[in-house]
Amino acid sequence: MLHHPNIDPVAIKLGPLAIHWYGLMYLLGFWGAWRMALRRARLAHVGWSRERISDLLFYVVMGVILGGRLGYVLFYAYDNSGHWLPLDDPMMVLRVWQGGMSFHGGLIGVLLAMGLFAYLQKLKYFEVADFAAVLVPIGLFTGRIGNFINGELWGKPTELPWGMVFETAPDLLPRHPSMLYEALLEGLVMFAVLWWVGGKPRPRGLLSALFLLLYGTFRFAVEFVRVPDTQLGYLHFGWMTRGQELCLPMLAAGLIILAWSLRKKEA
């Protein structure tokens, strides 16, 4: 049995200014993605300029922040009775400092931001999406490490030897460190697979399809050992969570894009 290190979520405090580890993990993720983007841009079949990468990063950052917050408000901002909180407090969408970000909302924001970027740069949409898909797992990894530092999104009780006691949980039972499962699968494993596959020229859309399928599969699986959001609980069949519900469109889109990409290769 392991014990969560119970790290102070505030990394630096300068008078009234508090810099949280979670925010630093976001910055680290963006920086890491930018560094790896520069390496990927040097591949012969990619050939992007440094300026184009910097411009794309700006669009992606805006998509992540705005989409992530809006997604949280749309998908998760409910009380225990199922009442949607923005009906009483519309300004909560702007209070990012109070916490609450959604990956699926951030993904939608990034998809829209990439569409605008591709239009302005006169690029094919999936040329942009395939480039970004390889890099997103870096941010997913650092984000889940931020969840671990905060001691949030822990899993169900377990008797496995790596079960971890979280002081932020309602009891002192050893639990699945589900945020570390996601850091491993959605971060390291996805990055390794996409970086390897993207090391050679591939049909347009293939990397985007793999990203959707891998993330959708990994997140859907981890949700089985992760405690659902208290205000939502299980939404369908007595076991399906909001995270699993939102992964289904990702999996469907991934299969459609994969079929289109492979058919395009054969043509």
Q: To the nearest 10°, report the CA torsion of 255, 121, 38, 114.
A: -40
Q: How open is the CA angle 56-133-208, to the nearest 5 degrees?
A: 120
DSSP 174: E
Other C-beta atoms closer than 10 Å to the C-beta of 157 total 14
The tokens describing 81, both together, are 């009775």
Strands (E), 21-166: 164-165
What does the CA dihedral 255, 256, 260, 263 come to, rounded to 10 degrees?
50
Cα of first residue to Cα of last residue in the chain, in angstroms, is 55
User: Rounded to an integer, what distance in angstroms lies between the CA atom of residue 120 and that of residue 128?
Assistant: 12
Beta strands in the chain (DSSP E): 2-3, 10-14, 17-20, 164-165, 174-175
Binding residues: 144
Going by the DSSP 8-state scheme, the letter that residue 43 receives in this structure is S
Contact 211, 190 (CB under 8 A): yes
Residue 170 CB neighbour total at 10 angstroms = 8
What is d(CA 104, CA 125) in angstroms, rounded to the nearest whole number? 19
